[in-house]
């Protein structure tokens, strides 16, 4: 009986050894790294792939730990991932590295599974890895490409914004230059008053409003007497000062709705909204009185003015006709000895 039991045990042992041998042959033939460790995380098995990968002596590794077998640059990370797998208590995944015999760095995706005995006590760790170097390189290349694309997009966005800002700035400059040019085209550069063109355009608007609203307006033409004498005696620079002073007085003594302008060398014109002939004559006399008070420094200059005044009437077909009547009145003022204001009305 004992002999039969002994032979049975031998047979079972032989079968077990054969099974283990088959299992080892299977593990040895796997093209990926495979390893097994005991409860103390000491190596008990490594297939040829992982032994060759880390240049481990196949006859002298059982019972040793990572820091005894692996290169220093990889040992610590492997030990740490082992601990994490044990702590997790189930299959875990980590990324580990190794160098081939030529020194090229390889990346491995490693799955580790802790094993337990029938009492639930940790009994070891089984692991298998897969070379993901090519996948890693492709991934890194894609990430680098994506990063470069994002950087290019940022640069393009910055460039587009810079160009947009420059276009906006230049557009504003052009608009400002246009407005400045338009302003200059309507302003007398010496006196700052409306020039002849601007005076006529704005006065035409008043004329049209007067016809549509059945209201009136008056026109004054003011001419500085003997202005040529000022230029000839004291110089054109002094004459320019006189013109500026006269322009300032004209502008300061009008309403915002009135239109003033320099329409000739020493000739100024004013269009007065909703103003009668008598009111316009009073305004003209006031302007002449103020101009006569202009101080001329050390020069004893007594400025006088002649003014012609007219008032709009429906029989006048245009602003030019109203202005023409004022010009007739100015001619009459000069013919009567200057230094006076004369009004002129339309007659039927």
- Classify residue 9: in a domain, yes or no: no
Structural domain count, the chain: 3
- Classify residue 293: in a domain, yes or no: yes
The 10 Å Cβ neighbour count of residue 117 is: 10
Residue 72 annotated to the active site: no
Residues 151 and 288 in one domain: no
Ranges in the chain, pLDDT < 50 = none
- Classify residue 2: in a domain, yes or no: no
- Classify residue 94: in a domain, yes or no: yes
Residues 337 and 277 in one domain: yes
Q: Scanning the structure block, which residue is given the tokens 């990370």? A: 77
Residues 140 and 43 in one domain: no
- Judged by DSSP in three states, 225 sits in coil
What is d(CA 110, CA 50) in angstroms, rounded to the nearest whole number? 12
- Classify residue 287: in a domain, yes or no: yes
* CA dihedral angle for residue 264, residue 270, residue 271, residue 275, rounded to 10 degrees: -150
pTM, 2 dp: 0.52
Residues 200 and 162 in one domain: no
Q: DSSP string covering 90-127, please?
A: S-EEEEEEEE-TT--EEEEEEEEEEEE-TTS-EEEEEE
Residues 95 and 210 in one domain: no
Domain that holds residue 260: 196-344
Number of H-type helices and E-type strands within the chain:
10, 10
What is d(CA 109, CA 96) in angstroms, rounded to the nearest whole number? 7
- Phi-psi group of 221: left, alpha or beta (phi > 0 → left; psi -120 to 50 → alpha; rest → beta): beta
Residues 47 and 84 in one domain: yes
Residues 320 and 204 in one domain: yes
Residues 202 and 340 in one domain: yes
Residues 163 and 255 in one domain: no
- Classify residue 24: in a domain, yes or no: no
Residues 107 and 245 in one domain: no
Element spanning 319, H or E:
helix 319-335
Tell me the C-alpha to C-alpha distance, in Å, between residue 247 and each of 254, 281, 295, 307, 341.
11, 18, 14, 15, 18
Residues 339 and 217 in one domain: yes
Pick the catalytic residue from 179, 266, 267, 345: 266
- Classify residue 285: in a domain, yes or no: yes
Q: Which of 44, 113, 48, 100 is nearest to 74 (CA)?
A: 100
Residues 72 and 182 in one domain: no
What is d(CA 124, CA 114) in angstroms, rounded to the nearest whole number? 6
- Classify residue 160: in a domain, yes or no: yes
Domain boundary among 186, 207, 227: 186
- Residue 254 sits in a domain whose CATH number is 3.30.70.270
- Residue 44 sits in a domain whose CATH number is 3.30.450.20
Task: Kindly calculate the radius of gyration of the chain based on its CA atoms and give it in whole angstroms.
Answer: 54
């Amino acid at each position: 009986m004992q002999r039969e039991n002994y032979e049975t045990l031998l047979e079972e042992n032989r079968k077990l050894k054969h099974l283990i041998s088959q299992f080892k042959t299977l593990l040895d033939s796997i093209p990926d790294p495979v390893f097994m460790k005991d409860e103390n995380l000491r190596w008990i098995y490594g297939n040829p792939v992982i032994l060759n990968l880390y240049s481990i002596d196949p006859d002298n590794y059982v019972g040793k730990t990572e820091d005894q077998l692996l290169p220093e640059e990889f040992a610590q990370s492997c030990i740490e991932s082992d601990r994490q797998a044990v702590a997790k208590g189930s299959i875990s995944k980590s990324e580990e590295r190794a160098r081939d015999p030529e020194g090229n760095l390889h990346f491995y995706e490693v799955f580790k599974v802790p094993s337990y005995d029938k009492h639930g006590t940790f009994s070891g760790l089984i692991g298998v890895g897969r070379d993901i170097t090519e996948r890693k390189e492709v991934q890194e290349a894609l990430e680098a490409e994506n990063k470069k694309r994002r950087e290019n997009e940022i640069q393009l966005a910055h460039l587009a914004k810079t160009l947009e800002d420059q276009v906006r700035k230049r557009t504003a400059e052009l608009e400002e230059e246009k407005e400045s040019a338009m302003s200059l085209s309507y302003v007398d550069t010496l006196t700052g008053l409306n020039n002849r063109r601007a005076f006529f355009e704005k006065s035409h608007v008043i004329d049209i409003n007067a016809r549509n609203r059945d209201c009136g307006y008056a026109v004054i033409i003011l001419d500085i007497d003997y202005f040529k004498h000022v230029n000839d005696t004291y110089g054109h620079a002094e004459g320019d000062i006189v013109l500026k002073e006269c322009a300032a007085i004209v502008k300061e003594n009008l309403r915002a709705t009135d239109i003033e302008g320099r329409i000739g060398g020493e000739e100024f014109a004013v269009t007065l909204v909703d103003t009668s002939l008598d009111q316009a004559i009073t305004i003209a006399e006031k302007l002449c009185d103020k101009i006569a008070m202009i101080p001329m420094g050390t020069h004893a200059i007594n400025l006088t003015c002649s003014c012609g005044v007219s008032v709009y009437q429906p029989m006048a077909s245009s602003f030019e006709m109203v202005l023409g009547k004022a010009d007739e009145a100015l001619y009459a003022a000069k013919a009567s000895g200057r230094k006076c204001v004369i009004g002129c009305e339309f007659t039927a």
